[in-house]
Structure 1
Amino acid sequence: MVKLNKIYTRTGDTGSAGLVDGSRVSKSSLRMTAIGEVDEANAAVGLAIASLGDQPLAAQLRTVQNELFDLGADIATPGEIDGALRIVPAQVARLERDIDAMNADLDPLTSFILPGGSVEVAALHLARTVVRRAERAAVALNADDPINPDALAYLNRLSDHLFVAARFVAATQGGDILWRPGETR
């Protein structure tokens, strides 16, 4: 269990950060960038949860928030370490089941979707785009220093989950706002 009594340690004052294995890396490294992007994605998911109130989708997203902390720990643990906290295929599979359940009654897409319509839908789309950025950072790290492939799959599936979640919520509010190419030309 994590126990933090003192928030500042001064160990990062020179621009380095500690990893789970005890090593230190630059705060501007690919690994720290990926960890930071996952942290930002978690905050964006938190904003989406706050906008949803007590909707059942909020409970799903609280699970996602916990898993995003797991993902951050996974990325913060370089190499193969016995007992390391890693994203596992079952977490990716759960996202897929949630996607399939939300998508079951949605109309097929006929156009790209504009990310808005309500605060809830916009917040879900914002979270989706931040997760996509986290995924790009994790892919860049993986190209330089391989990470858990399930972590990459999780980020990819989570952005899909948030896209379908936005459509799912929009369906209860009159439907998606569709892109109309060239409408203002």
Structure 2
Amino acid sequence: MRVYTRTGDKGKTSLYDSKRVFKDSARVESYGTIDELNSTLGLAKNFIDDKKMYDLIHNIQRKLFDVAAELATEDKAKLKFQITKEDVKFLENKIDEYLDLIKTPDHFVIPGSGKAAGYMHVSRTICRRAERRIITLAREIDVNEHLLKYINRLSDLIYSLSRYLENEYEEVKFNR
């Protein structure tokens, strides 16, 4: 199989269920941003020495393929997996687990006291952008409510992991 097909040369791509859409559609922007998130998480995990956290991130990456497939499929009957409330609950449990290990955040911090934390913060911002793109898509089509919650909680988990990874951080104080 070749990487190039020439079928996208006029600005269209195929969804998972073979429907053709423009490459800048809200749907493609949504799953494309999930792909970008998955890639940055892949980079970030390689700077993490904690096997448990590494494995957690790797498993989230696997789940992001389900998220992307769901976003890239118009015909829901062709989906093998959909994001569920159990997936959301899993993230909530992990958020609680990692926040219990750090001082409760009550201020902003300068992101990136180390490479692992820095890359996780980049992933966090991409996750939040993915959520915005999915919300744009949700104004056009019906998006699984659990998928929306999942991405929202995922950004919270990535934030929690980022904070946990911060060795020495600088608090941002505002003059009021």
The bucket for the TM-score relative to the shorter chain is over 0.9
1:66 alignment partner, one of 62, 65, 68: 62
Deviations 1:125-175 (A, max 9, x none): 1100000001100000001112111111111011000100011122xx24x
Matched, 1:127 2:120: no
CA distance in 1: counterparts of 2:159 and 2:50, whole angstroms = 20
Matched, 1:8 2:8: no
Matched, 1:158 2:154: yes
What runs of 5+ residues in structure 2 fail to find an aligned partner? none
CA distance in 2: counterparts of 1:124 and 1:44, whole angstroms = 8
Which residue of structure 1 aligns with residue 83 of structure 2?
87
CA distance in 1: counterparts of 2:67 and 2:172, whole angstroms = 33
Counterpart of 1:28 in structure 2: which amino acid?
D
5 Å matches for 1:1-185?
5-81=1-77, 83-170=79-166, 173-174=167-168, 176-182=169-175
How far residue 179 of structure 1 moved from its aligned partner, in angstroms, is: 0.6
What runs of 5+ residues in structure 1 fail to find an aligned partner? none
Counterpart of 2:119 in structure 1: which amino acid?
A
Contact preservation (8 Å) 2:91, 2:154: yes
Runs of 4+ in structure 1 off by over 4 angstroms are none
Contact preservation (8 Å) 2:17, 2:78: no
Contact preservation (8 Å) 2:70, 2:79: no
CA distance in 2: counterparts of 1:94 and 1:106, whole angstroms = 19
Contact preservation (8 Å) 1:20, 1:76: yes
Deviations 1:73-122 (A, max 9, x none): 01011243254431122211111111111111321223112212111111
CA distance in 2: counterparts of 1:136 and 1:148, whole angstroms = 15
How far residue 66 of structure 1 moved from its aligned partner, in angstroms, is: 0.7
TM-score for both structures, normalised by structure 2? 0.92
Aligned-residue CA RMSD (Å)? 1.7
Counterpart of 2:155 in structure 1: which amino acid?
S
Give the 3-state SS of the residue equivalent to 1:144 in structure 2: coil
